[in-house]
Amino acid sequence: MFTFSKIISAVLAFVMMMLPTAKAPEQQCKPEFSGSFIQSWMTCSWDDERWAEEAENMKEAGVEYLVLQSLADMGYKADGGHWNVYYDTDVEALKDGTYGGDCLEPALKACQEAGIKVFVGLSMFDDFWNESGMGSLYQDVCRVAGDMVEDIYGKYGEKYKDSLYGWYFTPEISNGLLCQLSISGIIKGINHLIDRINEVDAAKPLLMSPFYSEYIATGPIVTLSNYVRFFDKVNFRDGDIFAPQDAIGAKWTREKNLEMTWRLYKAAVDTCDADIKLWANCENFDGAVAEGVLEGLLSPKATEHTSNVTATLDTFVRQMDIASKYAENIITFSYNHYYSPSNVNPAFINTYYDYVAKGYQLETLAPQAPENMKKQQTENGVELSWDEAEDNMGIAYYRLEKDGKFLARIDKYYGWEENSYTDENASADSIYTIEAVDAAGNTTGKITIG
């Protein structure tokens, strides 16, 4: 009955926030990020020197928190359910796993020297996307996560006491139908993990990063009701962190609905008896999937890139601006993958630095148009070339069209200098246009080639 009254209270609060006459919320934090996620596959080959370089990059960017994603991943049961492990482990369930390199101690060492706090990601399993908390596998993986807490804390808790800050619960719960139907099992597993954390060091917070999906999922009222139940039944401690992904980069949520999702999270978190923290995980990438309900999932539309790329800052800044009205802190997926000057075009982080330095004002100066544009028929097709466009912060990418239709997006990757593209098996009769886009999303506009 008590949970039911909390649900009613939360739903009413959410409805009131959604009214056109609702008072605009006051800003809760600055619209800038202070933390980043990093995936194990990216760092498993890094040595101490590379980690020190990355830690220095993060420090310069204002990163105070680093979230290491799962250090142990179980493959699909259909493929044998084999573990891949990314640290030196003594956990019995992981001993026969494939060792992918140590992603943990080098990170703790570099971050301790740089003064960065690390949330250690625990176990994950691929079948989570098929069955969520249903069946016994979820509980088994939560038990492995608890064993990892004991194992990692025993090895590194004292040695890296200044950088081993907390724990990250890797399975990304959502409002997807399976997650909502198995919420009781999910609650049971998280409570087991919290019990294990309390046994080794109750002061270390647990961070979770769920997401909201507009597709094949429950709507906001049902989702809110289940989150209220979740916060009522999970044994959260003061200081634990709920840091939802805004899901804009992954395209699970459209920007027009972003404010609604933050109001939903705010209404839910406010019902928790523990003093948990509402953080935001704003995604700074652009996913290689199309927007749309079933069409986007079952038959994706053509997109302008075939892999995830760094999003221009006009989008990212809007995401942080909305999140800052509800969250106490902003972290991102991911500075390391999409902003680090050791990994991508430095125009992005330089534009971000300029945005922060100017009091959260994004630069609006458009690039100058590329010049000396040429096209030439060759045995391979039509070869296009042009001189580098000029911009105060640097060009992020070029966008090409052929006869009025999208042809290619050419990203300016780190160290990349050529300004050319070959349209294979094409005829020189076609009309090509090009536009240069900077990291803030400013563009030259379309310029015709040939």
Q: Could you tell me the CATH number of the domain that includes residue 405?
A: 2.60.40.10
Classify residue 174: in a domain, yes or no.
yes
Task: State which amino acid sits at residue 306.
Answer: T
End position of a domain, from candidates 357, 386, 413? 357
Classify residue 362: in a domain, yes or no.
no
Q: Name the nearest CA neighbour of 38 among 72, 74, 70.
A: 70
Question: Which pLDDT band holds residue 425 (cuts at 50, 70, 90)?
Answer: confident
Domain count, the chain: 2
Query: Quick one: 252 and 400 in the same domain?
Result: no
End position of a domain, from candidates 357, 389, 423? 357
d(CA 260, CA 214): 11
Whether pLDDT at 157 is above 60: yes
The residue-averaged pLDDT of 140-160 equals 98
Query: Quick one: 118 and 7 in the same domain?
Result: yes
Whether pLDDT at 149 is above 70: yes
Classify residue 369: in a domain, yes or no.
no
The alpha carbon of residue 360 and the mean position of all alpha carbons in its chain are separated, in whole angstroms, by 21
Classify residue 366: in a domain, yes or no.
no
Query: Quick one: 378 and 410 in the same domain?
Result: yes
Query: Quick one: 127 and 189 in the same domain?
Result: yes
Query: Quick one: 305 and 388 in the same domain?
Result: no
* Burial class of residue 439 (count of CB atoms within 10 Å of its CB; 0-12, 13-18, 19+): buried
Check residue 302 and give its pLDDT: 58
End position of a domain, from candidates 357, 384, 416? 357
Query: Quick one: 249 and 398 in the same domain?
Result: no
Whether pLDDT at 298 is above 70: no
Quote the domain boundaries for residue 69: 2-357
Between strands 420-424 and 123-125, the pairing is unpaired
Classify residue 239: in a domain, yes or no.
yes
Query: Quick one: 140 and 270 in the same domain?
Result: yes
Query: Quick one: 61 and 184 in the same domain?
Result: yes
**Residues 389 and 347: beta-carbon distance below 8 Å:** no
Query: Quick one: 337 and 378 in the same domain?
Result: no
d(CA 315, CA 317): 6
Query: Quick one: 28 and 100 in the same domain?
Result: yes
Question: Which pLDDT band holds residue 371 (cuts at 50, 70, 90)?
Answer: confident
What 3-state DSSP class applies to 225?
helix
Query: Quick one: 348 and 410 in the same domain?
Result: no
Classify residue 367: in a domain, yes or no.
no
Question: Which pLDDT band holds residue 293 (cuts at 50, 70, 90)?
Answer: very low
CATH number at residue 219: 3.20.20.80
In terms of DSSP H, where are the helices of 299-367?
313-323, 335-338, 347-357
| Of 62-71, 188-197, 415-424, minimum mean pLDDT range | 415-424
Query: Quick one: 352 and 390 in the same domain?
Result: no
Classify residue 368: in a domain, yes or no.
no
Classify residue 365: in a domain, yes or no.
no
